[in-house]
Structure 1
Amino acid sequence: MKLEIPAELQSRVDAIAARSSLSPSEIIADALQNGHSLEWQERFLDKVAEGVASAARGEFASPDDLAGVVNKYRPS
């Protein structure tokens, strides 16, 4: 199937593909199948990049922080 989209959209799809392990076709399929708009995918990749950068700076959750999360969802 051939799909023609405006150059601005193609540029965004290509940029998302360059930042992820997905092909442009997979980016568009994800948008159609799962409702993940280009804006959603861009924000997701931004958040992942922020997390990776934070980890690279050594900013991890403390053991007490982790215990708090685990205990929050542990059945009483």
Structure 2
Amino acid sequence: MLSNAAVRSFPHNDPAALDRFLTRFRAQYRRALLVLEGVYSMDGDIPDLPAFVEVARARRHDHAGRGAQHRRARRHRAGAR
């Protein structure tokens, strides 16, 4: 892979597993990209996209467990200009 990005996967169609996965691994990376299909063509099942979005939003600021700290720093920098 040209980007040298780490590729990790979580169990199929399981938002709770994604939550556990992100809790365990998210702090190891500065950026994360969550990719899933709208319809799983091999199985024909449809993921509960709102549940996945909820998990992703809850964990998006878990980088090194400092989400609130990062938000305060961004607000401070924005106000300092």
TM-score by length of 2: 0.28
If you compute each CA radius of gyration, which structure gives the higher value, 1 or 2? 1
Structure showing greater relative contact order (alpha-carbon pairs closer than 8 Å, 6 or more residues apart): 2
TM-score by length of 1: 0.29
